[in-house]
Structure 1
């Protein structure tokens, strides 16, 4: 059944790409707003409707108690939701969370017949949130897959540090939404697949590829050995608590200080004001990844006072420099450790960037300057590369009639390419699919 689809799932965003057997490369599908990447958040209207995507994110600053964001980190079996993990995760979501039930608690005020507003609640699990998000991606897939009697075939991505049971939960959510899950690959593998690194090697040459992921909340790195079209993950580092959120927070601090200096009002006293600032800061960060400057305007930030400021890329880069320094220190330590642990590794051949945060020019230049002799693969948008890799993997699938469990082996027969994670000396902890 064609076309087939690849879906990247994350805390902050989702992305879907489609491919046909005759295509040279997969194509990303734009959503209703024309964006090639969708926001991984939803908002409850207080009654029966739940909105997903950009609309939900735009309303989140004014209705935080009705919204769910950054929910993917909760998609784990209950026994894996440790106290330390929950303490950090809860700080990143706008709504309330019941750790005993593993439920998000959404609260809204209903107004009927001019009566005084009544607060209502709705409980929704991380699994149900993921189903809703997959349903929104399914709507995009149906633009290209018109057979209503069949489920579109999809390959999904998941961070490599998620437990094996999360792979099953993710597959079940996608199946319930209406997809047929043929395979799940981890994000870093999908990114390497997107570029097809090493597929043209016909001799005994070996390439070493480092994937650098910096997402919305976390970063992690993986090292691959590529030989004869075989990808072997020989080292994995992370996750580390540095992501787009930390870059955004530096801009949030600047806005709060500027506003307080100009108007003697402290936005920290209002949760709604802070939500508005974070939304504006995130938008500003994305714009400055492509443009040299932007206007930072927040309507009625606090007590009816607007905030208006011209933000240049140079100023933004000076604000985030401490975060970049911390990120590069962690990356350098991981590379040094890999070189020490693997005597056969003399140098890196490729670095693959994934995660929207790696699109920040200052971060890209820091990586390029540190590793000048390494080829940096960033021609595919870093927040689309995982979906592209997943879609490309569907070209190699033969039997799509069952869900692949993460513990199973799968050999991709096109050009005799196999994906294999682990080392020959560590069969117990290897991941094969």
Structure 2
């Protein structure tokens, strides 16, 4: 049996819980949520990284669908757009009940897998989605959102982003209150996209395990979106999981400068750097043809996972591909069908079957269950917070 055959067999038993997929935003940008025009029951490889057949081929058993909205949307517009993203996920679940099933708890994730469905959870990407309102945070939880990434690419008034100029120096007092209310709800604190100081503050403040839904190792690729070793080393005490991402500019050092130039080219042509519409991708491909792109591979991602396992331990690593949220992907990981290639690479490096089972399934499900347990205890002793940004940080 080849390593690829072994990988597929392992994924049949221990499928991937992927921490981050931006299909809902791609559907918004490309077709205005018209699911007839992007029917993922059909081959959508011309437009998307994701469709149902490729999810099955990739061995995906549970997916956190990102209900991301751009930071160009602020205030009530950001909240409304987040609700529209949630509505898109619900529409997908209603349209494909034989393949996808809503999951809000670890037990529901396990039950969906047992019934042969892909468990579908949601994660909100960026604190701007709650508009500094703990009431909005609670409403997102009631609608099924099970993690909040504290920032996206820009700061929020209560937390610093990895890719913005620091203002708060990490979390403000209100930011700590957001984390603690998330603990009380059972909503995972996602530290992808946040500054290193925000990571450290959040881990000190939280009473439940954290996740990094799509971040790799800063020691392997020195990009601010990645996780420093001291933060990785703190995960065993916290119980959290860092889910390695596949985005080339976050995993391949040679791709960092190239991507900065490619992003500038996109803006010069009137596109957001994250635009993955056919028109935006045409501009990207033309730039790539004139300026050959440094190419990451499955081995590049495996380098990150090797290091993350060494520093944090096998119980604290996972996978968050960021499919349909990136213009470029590594060779061998071209879409959601590619996970077996990564698992085969890890098997070649000596990862055991038990290691793979933790990486793909067990760690993520455990963290979700642990957060639920913490929330159960806190709800017995604490009422919901009525704090406001003005009260704590004004």
Superposition TM-score, scaled by structure 1 size: 0.31
Name whichever structure is richer in strand by fraction. 1
Please tell me whether Structure 1 or Structure 2 has the larger radius of gyration of its CA atoms. Answer: 1
More helix by share: 2
Point out which structure has higher relative CO (alpha carbons under 8 A, 6+ apart). 2
